[in-house]
Amino acid sequence: MSKRLSVTLTDEEEAILDVFADSDSAEHRALRAWAERRGTRMDATMAEARFLRLLLQAGASSLREEVLQEGYAALAESMTSVDREESAAMRRRYADRTDQHMSA
């Protein structure tokens, strides 16, 4: 399903787009590399709408990554000392079993 939107950009937003559209900018190179890692090729003939969709996808991906990192940090913070002790004990038992199998 597609949805066509009309968006009015502020001067500041246009300036941001100009930076990402400038093939000599670091921002453009970063966006191009991001796109290529996902199988999309950027070139000078890319339609403006496609460019905007690509930039939207990159921004959304970046924010999802940030949310995941925050979630992982919260999970790590929520581990109690008992949880940490249990994890350490499980690692020790695993290491002991591995050592026994390797010496046999």
pLDDT digits (tens, 9 = 90+) for 21-75: 999 999 999 999 999 999 999 988 889 999 999 999 999 999 999 999 999 888 8
**Coil/strand/helix, residue 24:** coil
Residue type, 96: D
pLDDT of residue 45: 87
Query: What angle is formed at CA 37 by the lines to CA 34 and CA 40, rounded to 5 degrees?
Result: 85
d(CA 76, CA 78): 5
Backbone φ/ψ region at 39: left (φ over 0), alpha (ψ -120 to 50), beta:
left
Categorize the per-residue pLDDT at 104 as very low, low, confident or very high, splitting at 50, 70 and 90: low
pLDDT of residue 79: 74
pTM given for the model:
0.68
